[in-house]
Amino acid sequence: MNMKKPIVLSISAVSGGGKTTIIEKLKEILPNSISLHFDEYDFDCPKEIIDWVQRGADYSEYILTPLIDDIKEIISSEKTLEWILLDYPFSYVKDDIGNYIDVSIFLDTPLDVAMSRRLLRDHENSLNKDILDDIRCYLNYGRVCYLEMLKTVKPTCDLVIEGNQVQDKIIQEILDYLDKQMLG
């Protein structure tokens, strides 16, 4: 069993907000770290996300057992890890994961920037029609989900960082915050 529990650092943001990019950069910098990415799991979750938001956005409808199991396994393993880096949208909102998080940071990326990043990421080789369909979906439904995150998730985080800064500045703000927290 790991004698010293790794520090669990969660990075949250809306889709396209920069979570994965920042987690991967932190993984290069923070010693003995491992990353877990929300998007790499299959979860039981609401099928109709807009309906979910309209019903009150009950985050308990997300069953995150596979991610929780991985966190528990890493914490109890023989590995001498110092950091578990979570690319995870919900911060402390869900207690079943939130109870493991030591530090939660929200990348507050303007919605137009996040949407543009997502389109570039997801539609590099798409037809114009597919891109237009995605934009229509965002305008008709998806934006509501982004706004829900800003209302519910962002206020729970320990630190909020402007997400449209250059990557190095975001990383430095995170490292400065972590240094301050560990020394204080």
What is the rounded average pLDDT of the residues 134-141?
84
Domain annotation covers residue 1? no
Number of structural domains found in the chain? 1
User: What percentage of the chain carries pLDDT values higher than 70?
Assistant: 97
Nearest to 109 by CA among 65, 149, 64, 51: 149
CATH of the domain at 95: 3.40.50.300
In DSSP terms, which residues pair with 86 in a beta bridge? 10, 36
Higher pLDDT, 73 or 47: 73
pTM of full prediction above 0.95:
no
Domain annotation covers residue 171? yes
Q: What proportions of the chain, in percent to the nearest 5, are helix, strand and coil?
A: 50, 15, 35
Q: Return the structure tokens found at 102.
A: 């030591």
User: By residue range, what is the domain housing residue 83?
Assistant: 7-183
Q: For residue range 45-56, list pLDDT tens digits in order.
A: 888 888 888 898
Domain annotation covers residue 17? yes
